[in-house]
Amino acid sequence: MPVAGIDIGSLSTEVVILKKEEMLAQVIIPTGANSKLAAEKAMKEALEKSGLSFNELGYIVATGYGRVSVPFANKKVTEISCHGKGAFFLHPGVRTVIDIGGQDSKVIRLSPQGKVIDFVMNEKCAAGTGRFLEVMAHALETDLEEMSRPSAPSVKTANISSMCTVFAESEVVSLVAEGHPREEIIKGIIYSVVERTISLARRVGVEEELMMTGGVAKNIALREALEKSLGIKITVPDEPQAVGALGAALLAAEEAVK
Ligand SMILES: Nc1ncnc2c1ncn2[C@@H]1O[C@H](COP(=O)(O)OP(=O)(O)OP(=O)(O)O)[C@@H](O)[C@H]1O
Ligand SMILES: [Mg+2]
């Protein structure tokens, strides 16, 4: 019987529909201002893609900060469990997962059996998250594409000392006014997120294989800088943003046979 997982994040909403571990549909849409509407829209699109009707779904698990606003979910599960589950399913060698989304960044440690053994989350602060990168892109009048482009090793790293998004944004504006090259400023911004992520990861320790999930895993410059700083290769799945929804769907499949 097909099942679904839905992840309503602060910025994006994903639905994954599975039938016996085969992915029938995967949808990613912006969450926007109304998470309930986003959940309904993403589910509708996923059902259309899979050629199923809602009544054919055997079980639905919701996750993400907006999971409370999914009236049609049978069960609500934390993102930690779902990202852990999804990452381990894709690569059973994974022992550490770094999920950086729009407003949260988390580091999850998994046992060789795929159970969550420890995790840490950033405090209620945008520093070190996708939102931080978006605010900085806006301050530089650029987009995420430029922010994701790796720079040459010869490019200097501008110093961004503040860990607070609001202060860091003023620093970026000052650096632009002082005539610092954009590449150097972007490298400084990336470095600031890397530093933040590493200090979070140190609290639980990093064991290989390390997988990155969440939208920020699509930022190649950040991924490469993080790999370099940690001295560890990072695995990135084909669709890092949908790993939470995949984990939710896998949990739904387990519930459906109970
Ligand atoms: N194509 C892309 N290139 C670079 N960065 C990207 C890309 N797509 C998304 N991102 C980054 O991913 C972030 C959003 O990640 P994601 O969709 O995982 O967040 P979310 O799950 O909604 O948030 P949260 O889990 O914190 O509630 C954006 O802020 C942006 O920085
Ligand atoms: Mg998320």
d(CA 29, CA 36): 13
* CATH 3.30.1360.120 at 93-236, yes or no: no
Residues in contact with 157: Cβ distance below 8 Å, sequence separation at least 6, in sequence order: 184, 187, 188, 191
- Is any ligand 1 atom within 6 A of the Cβ of residue 215? yes
- Is any ligand 1 atom within 6 A of the Cβ of residue 5? no
Q: Residue 125 has what pLDDT?
A: 82
Q: How many CB atoms lie within 10 A of CB 156?
A: 13
d(CA 64, CA 181): 38
Q: Residue 67 has what pLDDT?
A: 96
Q: Are 36 and 1 contacting, i.e. CB atoms less than 8 angstroms apart? A: no
Binned at pLDDT 50, 70 and 90, residue 163 comes out as confident
d(CA 129, CA 123): 11
d(CA 10, CA 233): 28
What number does the ligand 1 atom closest to the CA of 11 have?
A: 22
d(CA 214, CA 143): 18
| pTM exceeding 0.85 | yes
d(CA 68, CA 70): 6
Q: Residue 187 has what pLDDT?
A: 97
Which numbered ligand comes closest to the C-alpha of 102? 1
What number does the ligand 1 atom closest to the CA of 147 have?
A: 4
What number does the ligand 1 atom closest to the CA of 12 have?
A: 22
Map out the domains of the chain as residue ranges: 1-91+239-258, 93-236
- Is any ligand 1 atom within 6 A of the Cβ of residue 11? yes
Q: Residue 124 has what pLDDT?
A: 72
Q: Residue 184 has what pLDDT?
A: 97
DSSP secondary structure letters along 62-89 = EESGGGGG-TT-SEE--HHHHHHHHHHH
**Record: fold of 1-91+239-258:** Nucleotidyltransferase; domain 5 (3.30.420)
Dihedral (Cα; 162, 163, 164, 169), 10-degree rounding: 50
Which tokens sit at 199? 């200090």
Q: Whose CA is nearest to atom 25 of ligand 1?
A: 101
Digit-coded pLDDT (tens) for 213-254:
999 999 999 999 999 999 999 999 999 999 999 999 999 999
Which tokens sit at 130? 């996708």
Binned at pLDDT 50, 70 and 90, residue 150 comes out as very high
- Mean pLDDT (the chain, rounded): 96
Which tokens sit at 174? 């000052």
Which tokens sit at 256? 């459906």
- Is any ligand 1 atom within 6 A of the Cβ of residue 2? no
Two domains, one topology: 1-91+239-258 and 93-236:
yes
Candidate of 14, 219, 243 to mutate for ligand 1, largest count of ligand atoms within 8 Å of Cβ = 219
